Structure 1
């Protein structure tokens, strides 16, 4: 049975500013699956966190971790 999508409360999200971009890591603490995205710092933390969470849910759904 597939696992329901994770929400921001279910994952660890880390922001690392690197010049004008931000590196965002999203980690599922249950499976230790980690995904990383990069985006412009001007996008804001909410947008970057949502995109990282979407990628994590995609990876978990596809089983490509």
Structure 2
């Protein structure tokens, strides 16, 4: 996955019953952020993980 302001990202999704865990990793720095939410809303959980990563990186 690529984001204009972040560069390359690796996004991993793991489902555990009704929950989905999404981990977003910034390739250039190895920094990661994780979000957990309902499995029925995978795009929302992914957006949350990327937003958390953006906040951690200060972008």
* TM-score where L is the length of structure 1: 0.75
Q: Which has the higher helix share?
A: 1
Query: Structure 1: which 5+ residue stretches go unaligned?
Result: none
Match of 2:23 among 9, 22, 25: 25
Q: Which has the higher strand share?
A: 2
For residue 40 of structure 2, give the secondary structure of its aligned residue in structure 1: helix
Stretches of 4+ moved more than 4 A in 1? none
* TM-score where L is the length of structure 2: 0.82
| Aligned pairs, number | 56
Give the superposition deviation at 1:5.
Answer: 3.5
1:51 aligns with 2:48: yes
Report the aligned-residue RMSD: 1.8
Query: Structure 2: which 5+ residue stretches go unaligned?
Result: none
Larger Rg: 1
